[in-house]
Amino acid sequence: MSMYKLNDGRNIPNFGFGTYKLNGHAGVQSIVSAINNGYKMLDTAYNYENEGTVGKAIEESGVNRDELTITSKLPGRYYAHQDAITALQESLYRAHLDHFDLYLLHWPNPKRGMYVEAWQALIDAQKFGLVKSIGVCNFLPEHLDKLKAETGILPAINQIELHPYFNQAPMRKYDHDNGIVTMDWSPLGRASSVLKDPVLIELGKKYHKTVGQIIFRWEHQLDTIPIPKSASPVRQRENLDIFDFEISSDDMKKINDLTKPDGRTNDQDPAVYEEF
Chain-centre distance for alpha carbon 103: 11
**Among 78, 238, 242, 251, contact with ligand NAP (rule: CB under 6 A):** 238
- Say what angle helices 211-221 and 233-240 make with each other, to 10 degrees: 40
CB of 141 to ligand NAP, least distance (A): 17
- Angle (nearest 5°) at CA 63 between 227 and 5: 45
What part of residues 177-206 is at the interface with ligand NAP (CB under 6 A)?
185-191, 195
Under the criterion CB under 6 A, does residue 12 sit at the interface with ligand NAP?
no
Backbone angles phi, psi at 136, to 5 degrees: -140, 170
Under the criterion CB under 6 A, does residue 110 sit at the interface with ligand NAP?
no
**Among 235, 237, 254, 264, contact with ligand NAP (rule: CB under 6 A):** 235
Q: What is the largest CA-CA distance in the chain?
A: 54
What is the pairing mode between strands 17-18 and 131-137? unpaired
Under the criterion CB under 6 A, does residue 232 sit at the interface with ligand NAP?
yes
What part of residues 205-224 is at the interface with ligand NAP (CB under 6 A)?
212
Under the criterion CB under 6 A, does residue 239 sit at the interface with ligand NAP?
yes
Under the criterion CB under 6 A, does residue 135 sit at the interface with ligand NAP?
no
What is the pairing mode between strands 3-5 and 11-13? antiparallel
Q: Which of 4, 39, 46, 48 is catalytic?
A: 48
Tell me the C-alpha distance between 263 and 189, whole Å.
9
Chain-centre distance for alpha carbon 125: 20
Q: Residue type at 9?
A: G
CB of 158 to ligand NAP, least distance (A): 10
- Nearer of residues 65 and 237 to ligand NAP, judged by Cβ: 237
CB of 115 to ligand NAP, least distance (A): 14
Compute the radius of gyration of the chain from its Cα atoms: 18
Of 14-22, 32-40, 82-90, 217-225: span binding ligand NAP (CB under 6 A): 14-22
Backbone angles phi, psi at 207, to 5 degrees: -95, 5
Annotation says 48 is catalytic: yes
Under the criterion CB under 6 A, does residue 14 sit at the interface with ligand NAP?
no
Of 58-66, 90-98, 232-240, 254-262: span binding ligand NAP (CB under 6 A): 232-240
Whether the CB-CB separation of 109 and 79 falls below 8 Å is answered with yes
CB of 128 to ligand NAP, least distance (A): 23
Backbone angles phi, psi at 20, to 5 degrees: -60, 130
- Nearer of residues 53 and 159 to ligand NAP, judged by Cβ: 159
Nearest to 268, CA basis, from 154, 168, 170: 168
User: Residues in contact with ligand NAP, total (CB under 6 A)?
Assistant: 26
Tell me the C-alpha distance between 12 and 218, whole Å.
19
- Nearer of residues 85 and 105 to ligand NAP, judged by Cβ: 105
Tell me the C-alpha distance between 238 and 197, whole Å.
19
Under the criterion CB under 6 A, does residue 19 sit at the interface with ligand NAP?
yes
Residues contributing to the site for ligand NAP (CB under 6 A):
18-20, 43, 106, 137-138, 159, 185-191, 195, 212, 227-232, 235, 238-239
Would you please indicate which residues are annotated as catalytic (active-site) residues? 48
